[in-house]
Amino acid sequence: MFHKEGFKIILITFILVIASFLAVDNFVSISWLRNLLLFILFAFLIIILQFFRNPKRKGVLNDNQVLSPVDGKVVVIEEVFEKEYFKEKRLQVSVFMSPINVHVTRYPIGGKVVFSKYHPGKFLVAWHPKASEENERTTVVVENKTFGKVLHRQIAGALAKRIVNYAKVGDEVIQASDSGFIKFGSRVDLFLPLGTNINVSLNDKVKGGESIIAEL
């Protein structure tokens, strides 16, 4: 199953790969070179297909828990001052996505979208300390009666050239449903209320819509 954000790119890639296959097969006479080029084209197609995959997730929806918004590795767990929306201290948990991870962004909690904003910016590497403030990014805040307000921020990385954000203020959203997509490498930050029990450790591998990041 592939994400809708990849349909156009997948179609274009198929056309280019098929055309290149035919050209290589017809015009490259050296056997080993032809086989090498065909292998590279096939590998390129597989990489594009796996990048836009959108696997179904079986996380149990629970208003007392915050699910990981994305697949990747936990790279930050710390108390910080969140400047954009809360303007107060929050617990930050950040997940870094490599190009081979699923890049669907999912809502960490269900509830009502109370804030959604896009920021143009730079394309520093996603783990750079200033990436969360200077890179292209979107900030989304969802509120429910149990957990209060939880902010998740999509941050473009050095390879990510487009962030897609579906969240609109006033939307009623379901936990683990699609919140957006980031193309080609990035990071997502979560900002949680102080006192939240964090269920992950640094360098843990997590799955979007399944792994429990935190709970009350």
- DSSP-derived secondary structure letter, 60: P
Spell out the residues 6+ positions from residue 166 whose beta carbon is closer than 8 angstroms to its own. Answer: 178, 179, 180
116, 186, 201, 211: the catalytic one is 186
Active site residue 186: yes
161-192: buried (b, 16+ CB within 10 Å) or exposed (e) per residue?
A: eebbbbbeeebebebbebbbbbbebbbbbbbb
For residue 72, which of 93, 92, 91 has the smallest C-alpha distance?
Answer: 93
Direct distance between the N- and C-terminal alpha carbons of the chain, in angstroms, rounded to an integer: 33
d(CA 48, CA 180): 18
Spell out the residues 6+ positions from residue 20 whose beta carbon is closer than 8 angstroms to its own. Answer: 37, 41
d(CA 193, CA 29): 64
Write out the catalytic residue numbers.
Answer: 186
